[in-house]
Amino acid sequence: MNDIEVAIEAARRGAAVLLGYWERIGKEQADIKARNDWVSAADRESEAAIKSFLREQRPGDATLGEETGSSGASSNGRTWIIDPLDGTSNYLQHLPVWSVSIGLKSGDEIVAGVVYEPLRDIVFSAERGAGAWRDGARMSVSAQRTVEGSFLTTGFPFRAQQYVNVYCSIFRDVIMVAKGVRRPGSAALDLAYTAAGIFDGFFEMHLAAWDVAAGSLLVREAGGLITDFSGGDRWLERGNIIGAAPSVHADLLRIINRYVHEEELDHRNGRAPQSI
Protein backbone atom coordinates (compact mmCIF):
# COMPACT_ATOMS: atom_id res chain seq x y z
CA MET A 1 0.00 0.00 0.00
CA ASN A 2 1.15 3.53 -0.67
CA ASP A 3 0.65 6.25 1.95
CA ILE A 4 -2.74 7.38 0.64
CA GLU A 5 -4.04 3.82 0.54
CA VAL A 6 -2.81 3.29 4.09
CA ALA A 7 -4.51 6.48 5.28
CA ILE A 8 -7.80 5.59 3.57
CA GLU A 9 -7.86 2.10 5.08
CA ALA A 10 -6.94 3.48 8.52
CA ALA A 11 -9.76 6.02 8.26
CA ARG A 12 -12.22 3.31 7.25
CA ARG A 13 -11.22 1.21 10.25
CA GLY A 14 -11.77 4.15 12.58
CA ALA A 15 -15.07 4.90 10.86
CA ALA A 16 -16.27 1.33 11.37
CA VAL A 17 -16.03 1.91 15.12
CA LEU A 18 -17.88 5.23 14.84
CA LEU A 19 -20.65 3.77 12.70
CA GLY A 20 -21.10 1.00 15.26
CA TYR A 21 -21.79 3.59 17.97
CA TRP A 22 -23.68 6.05 15.75
CA GLU A 23 -26.98 7.14 17.33
CA ARG A 24 -26.44 4.63 20.15
CA ILE A 25 -24.23 6.95 22.20
CA GLY A 26 -24.95 10.50 23.33
CA LYS A 27 -23.45 13.19 25.49
CA GLU A 28 -24.71 11.39 28.61
CA GLN A 29 -22.14 8.66 27.92
CA ALA A 30 -19.29 11.11 27.17
CA ASP A 31 -16.64 12.79 29.31
CA ILE A 32 -15.68 16.46 29.36
CA LYS A 33 -12.02 17.10 28.48
CA ALA A 34 -12.41 20.85 28.86
CA ARG A 35 -15.27 23.33 28.78
CA ASN A 36 -17.51 22.44 25.80
CA ASP A 37 -14.95 19.82 24.66
CA TRP A 38 -16.22 16.23 24.78
CA VAL A 39 -14.76 12.76 24.30
CA SER A 40 -16.47 9.37 24.23
CA ALA A 41 -15.68 5.68 23.88
CA ALA A 42 -16.30 6.14 20.15
CA ASP A 43 -13.44 8.67 19.82
CA ARG A 44 -11.05 6.55 21.87
CA GLU A 45 -11.79 3.26 20.14
CA SER A 46 -11.65 4.86 16.69
CA GLU A 47 -8.21 6.29 17.45
CA ALA A 48 -7.02 2.93 18.79
CA ALA A 49 -8.14 1.17 15.59
CA ILE A 50 -6.43 3.79 13.42
CA LYS A 51 -3.17 3.73 15.37
CA SER A 52 -3.08 -0.07 15.43
CA PHE A 53 -3.35 -0.23 11.65
CA LEU A 54 -0.75 2.48 11.13
CA ARG A 55 1.72 0.71 13.45
CA GLU A 56 1.20 -2.47 11.45
CA GLN A 57 1.67 -0.79 8.07
CA ARG A 58 4.26 1.88 8.94
CA PRO A 59 6.14 0.70 12.06
CA GLY A 60 8.88 3.31 11.65
CA ASP A 61 6.47 6.26 11.77
CA ALA A 62 5.26 8.19 14.81
CA THR A 63 1.63 9.11 15.47
CA LEU A 64 -0.07 12.11 17.05
CA GLY A 65 -3.70 11.57 17.97
CA GLU A 66 -6.24 13.87 19.56
CA GLU A 67 -7.12 11.46 22.36
CA THR A 68 -3.82 9.75 23.19
CA GLY A 69 -1.20 12.27 22.08
CA SER A 70 2.15 11.24 20.65
CA SER A 71 3.26 7.64 20.41
CA GLY A 72 6.15 5.89 18.76
CA ALA A 73 9.52 7.35 17.95
CA SER A 74 9.87 8.23 14.31
CA SER A 75 13.03 6.88 12.70
CA ASN A 76 12.39 8.81 9.49
CA GLY A 77 10.86 12.18 10.45
CA ARG A 78 7.32 11.04 9.58
CA THR A 79 4.29 11.55 11.84
CA TRP A 80 0.68 10.59 11.22
CA ILE A 81 -1.64 13.28 12.65
CA ILE A 82 -5.00 11.78 13.55
CA ASP A 83 -8.42 13.13 14.43
CA PRO A 84 -10.45 9.95 15.01
CA LEU A 85 -13.73 11.89 15.16
CA ASP A 86 -13.81 15.47 13.97
CA GLY A 87 -17.15 16.88 15.05
CA THR A 88 -17.60 15.05 18.36
CA SER A 89 -20.32 17.41 19.60
CA ASN A 90 -22.29 16.86 16.39
CA TYR A 91 -21.79 13.11 16.71
CA LEU A 92 -23.01 12.99 20.32
CA GLN A 93 -26.06 15.12 19.46
CA HIS A 94 -26.78 12.83 16.48
CA LEU A 95 -26.19 15.61 13.96
CA PRO A 96 -24.85 13.89 10.81
CA VAL A 97 -21.85 16.16 10.19
CA TRP A 98 -18.61 14.51 11.30
CA SER A 99 -15.53 12.91 9.81
CA VAL A 100 -12.24 11.10 10.29
CA SER A 101 -9.08 13.05 9.43
CA ILE A 102 -5.57 11.62 8.92
CA GLY A 103 -2.60 13.65 7.73
CA LEU A 104 1.00 12.60 7.22
CA LYS A 105 3.75 15.06 8.12
CA SER A 106 7.27 14.45 6.81
CA GLY A 107 9.84 16.87 8.13
CA ASP A 108 8.10 20.24 8.12
CA GLU A 109 5.56 19.46 5.40
CA ILE A 110 2.17 17.75 5.24
CA VAL A 111 2.67 15.31 2.39
CA ALA A 112 -0.52 13.25 2.42
CA GLY A 113 -4.01 13.68 3.79
CA VAL A 114 -7.36 11.95 3.92
CA VAL A 115 -10.68 13.24 5.21
CA TYR A 116 -13.35 10.55 5.27
CA GLU A 117 -17.07 11.25 5.64
CA PRO A 118 -18.46 7.89 6.79
CA LEU A 119 -22.20 8.55 6.61
CA ARG A 120 -21.94 9.36 2.90
CA ASP A 121 -18.93 7.10 2.27
CA ILE A 122 -16.97 9.92 0.63
CA VAL A 123 -13.16 9.95 0.61
CA PHE A 124 -11.32 13.24 0.13
CA SER A 125 -7.58 12.69 -0.42
CA ALA A 126 -4.46 14.56 -1.45
CA GLU A 127 -0.77 13.91 -1.87
CA ARG A 128 1.76 16.70 -2.10
CA GLY A 129 2.32 17.59 -5.75
CA ALA A 130 -0.29 15.11 -7.01
CA GLY A 131 -3.55 17.03 -6.66
CA ALA A 132 -6.65 16.62 -4.49
CA TRP A 133 -9.36 14.08 -5.14
CA ARG A 134 -12.95 13.23 -4.12
CA ASP A 135 -13.66 9.54 -4.72
CA GLY A 136 -11.26 9.51 -7.64
CA ALA A 137 -12.45 12.74 -9.26
CA ARG A 138 -10.04 15.65 -9.21
CA MET A 139 -11.05 18.62 -7.05
CA SER A 140 -10.52 22.33 -7.58
CA VAL A 141 -11.30 25.29 -5.37
CA SER A 142 -14.01 27.66 -6.54
CA ALA A 143 -13.50 30.48 -9.03
CA GLN A 144 -15.06 33.03 -6.64
CA ARG A 145 -12.98 36.21 -6.53
CA THR A 146 -14.27 38.19 -3.53
CA VAL A 147 -15.81 37.70 -0.11
CA GLU A 148 -18.74 39.69 -1.46
CA GLY A 149 -21.10 37.11 -2.88
CA SER A 150 -19.11 34.19 -1.45
CA PHE A 151 -20.33 31.08 0.38
CA LEU A 152 -18.10 30.61 3.42
CA THR A 153 -17.67 28.32 6.41
CA THR A 154 -16.26 29.02 9.85
CA GLY A 155 -16.02 27.75 13.41
CA PHE A 156 -16.63 29.56 16.68
CA PRO A 157 -13.67 30.06 19.09
CA PHE A 158 -15.13 27.96 21.91
CA ARG A 159 -11.64 26.99 23.15
CA ALA A 160 -10.47 30.63 23.31
CA GLN A 161 -13.39 32.69 24.48
CA GLN A 162 -11.25 35.71 25.26
CA TYR A 163 -11.29 36.28 21.50
CA VAL A 164 -15.06 36.07 21.05
CA ASN A 165 -15.42 39.84 20.65
CA VAL A 166 -12.68 39.94 18.01
CA TYR A 167 -14.24 37.00 16.20
CA CYS A 168 -17.69 38.58 16.28
CA SER A 169 -16.30 41.77 14.72
CA ILE A 170 -14.78 39.72 11.90
CA PHE A 171 -17.98 37.69 11.52
CA ARG A 172 -20.11 40.84 11.33
CA ASP A 173 -18.02 42.28 8.51
CA VAL A 174 -18.07 38.97 6.64
CA ILE A 175 -21.83 38.38 6.85
CA MET A 176 -22.53 41.91 5.69
CA VAL A 177 -21.10 41.06 2.25
CA ALA A 178 -21.01 37.27 1.89
CA LYS A 179 -23.82 35.34 0.22
CA GLY A 180 -23.86 32.91 3.14
CA VAL A 181 -21.79 31.70 6.10
CA ARG A 182 -22.19 28.25 7.66
CA ARG A 183 -20.84 26.69 10.86
CA PRO A 184 -21.14 22.91 10.28
CA GLY A 185 -18.92 21.84 13.21
CA SER A 186 -16.19 19.74 11.56
CA ALA A 187 -13.13 21.74 10.51
CA ALA A 188 -11.79 18.80 8.49
CA LEU A 189 -14.98 18.71 6.42
CA ASP A 190 -14.98 22.51 6.13
CA LEU A 191 -11.56 22.31 4.49
CA ALA A 192 -12.51 19.30 2.34
CA TYR A 193 -15.61 21.08 1.08
CA THR A 194 -13.52 24.20 0.38
CA ALA A 195 -11.14 22.07 -1.67
CA ALA A 196 -14.13 20.68 -3.56
CA GLY A 197 -15.41 24.18 -4.40
CA ILE A 198 -18.56 23.80 -2.29
CA PHE A 199 -17.38 26.54 0.05
CA ASP A 200 -15.36 29.47 -1.27
CA GLY A 201 -13.35 29.77 1.93
CA PHE A 202 -12.91 28.87 5.61
CA PHE A 203 -11.52 30.63 8.67
CA GLU A 204 -11.26 29.66 12.32
CA MET A 205 -9.20 30.39 15.45
CA HIS A 206 -7.37 28.10 17.84
CA LEU A 207 -7.69 24.74 16.18
CA ALA A 208 -5.35 21.83 16.86
CA ALA A 209 -2.98 20.21 14.37
CA TRP A 210 -5.26 17.16 13.98
CA ASP A 211 -8.17 19.40 12.99
CA VAL A 212 -6.37 20.84 9.96
CA ALA A 213 -3.42 18.65 8.93
CA ALA A 214 -5.21 16.65 6.24
CA GLY A 215 -7.70 19.30 5.16
CA SER A 216 -5.05 21.95 4.65
CA LEU A 217 -3.30 19.78 2.08
CA LEU A 218 -6.61 19.15 0.29
CA VAL A 219 -7.10 22.90 -0.14
CA ARG A 220 -3.54 23.53 -1.31
CA GLU A 221 -3.55 20.67 -3.79
CA ALA A 222 -6.91 21.88 -5.11
CA GLY A 223 -5.35 25.26 -5.95
CA GLY A 224 -6.27 27.20 -2.80
CA LEU A 225 -4.24 29.04 -0.21
CA ILE A 226 -3.69 28.13 3.45
CA THR A 227 -2.18 30.63 5.90
CA ASP A 228 -2.37 31.87 9.45
CA PHE A 229 -4.05 35.18 10.33
CA SER A 230 -1.09 37.23 9.10
CA GLY A 231 -0.65 35.39 5.82
CA GLY A 232 2.21 33.28 7.21
CA ASP A 233 2.81 29.59 7.75
CA ARG A 234 2.23 29.16 11.49
CA TRP A 235 -1.31 27.77 11.16
CA LEU A 236 -0.37 24.15 11.96
CA GLU A 237 1.33 25.03 15.24
CA ARG A 238 -0.86 27.95 16.31
CA GLY A 239 -4.23 26.87 14.96
CA ASN A 240 -5.45 30.13 13.40
CA ILE A 241 -6.21 29.33 9.79
CA ILE A 242 -7.60 30.76 6.57
CA GLY A 243 -8.17 28.36 3.68
CA ALA A 244 -9.77 29.64 0.50
CA ALA A 245 -9.67 30.22 -3.22
CA PRO A 246 -6.78 32.66 -3.79
CA SER A 247 -8.72 35.88 -4.33
CA VAL A 248 -11.20 35.10 -1.56
CA HIS A 249 -8.27 34.34 0.73
CA ALA A 250 -6.76 37.77 0.11
CA ASP A 251 -10.11 39.41 0.81
CA LEU A 252 -10.67 37.40 4.02
CA LEU A 253 -7.18 38.24 5.24
CA ARG A 254 -7.84 41.96 4.78
CA ILE A 255 -11.07 41.72 6.78
CA ILE A 256 -9.47 39.72 9.58
CA ASN A 257 -6.52 42.09 9.82
CA ARG A 258 -8.83 45.00 10.54
CA TYR A 259 -9.23 43.45 13.98
CA VAL A 260 -6.38 41.06 14.73
CA HIS A 261 -3.01 39.75 13.52
CA GLU A 262 -1.35 36.44 14.25
CA GLU A 263 1.06 37.92 16.79
CA GLU A 264 -1.89 38.91 19.00
CA LEU A 265 -3.30 35.40 19.26
CA ASP A 266 -1.98 33.06 21.94
CA HIS A 267 -2.30 29.41 21.08
CA ARG A 268 -5.34 27.56 22.44
CA ASN A 269 -6.15 29.71 25.45
CA GLY A 270 -2.53 30.05 26.55
CA ARG A 271 -1.67 26.36 26.34
CA ALA A 272 1.56 25.40 24.64
CA PRO A 273 1.20 24.03 21.09
CA GLN A 274 1.20 20.25 20.65
CA SER A 275 4.63 19.02 19.64
CA ILE A 276 4.63 17.67 16.11
In DSSP notation, 11-60 reads: HHHHHHHHHHHTTT--GGG-EEEETTEEE-HHHHHHHHHHHHHHHHH-TT
Polymer length of the chain: 276
Residue 270 confidence (pLDDT) above 50: no
Give yes or no for residue 157 having a pLDDT over 90: no
CA distances to 10, 46, 154, 181 from 116, rounded to whole Å, are: 10, 13, 19, 23
pLDDT, the chain, mean: 91
Residue closest to 141 by CA, chosen among 212, 226, 203, 83: 226
Percent of the chain with pLDDT over 90: 81
pLDDT at 197: 98
Would you state the pLDDT for residue 29? 66
Query: Is the pLDDT reported for residue 134 higher than 90?
Result: yes
What is the pLDDT at residue 41? 87
Contacts of 215 (CB under 8 A, 6+ apart): 101, 113, 115, 124, 187, 188, 189, 190, 191, 192, 194, 195, 243
Report how many helices (DSSP H) and strands (DSSP E) the chain contains, helices first: 8, 15
Query: What's the rounded mean pLDDT across residues 234-246?
Result: 95
The reported pLDDT for the residue numbered 35 is 53
State the pTM of this model. 0.92
**CB of 186 closer than 8 Å to CB of 90:** yes
Nearest residue to 42 (alpha-carbon basis) of 71, 17, 63, 10 = 17
What pLDDT, on a 0 to 100 scale, did the predictor assign at position 267?
54
| pLDDT tens per residue across span 63-122 | 999 877 777 666 788 999 999 999 999 999 999 999 999 999 999 999 999 999 999 999
In the chain, what are the domains?
Answer: 3-138 (3.30.540.10), 151-270 (3.40.190.80)
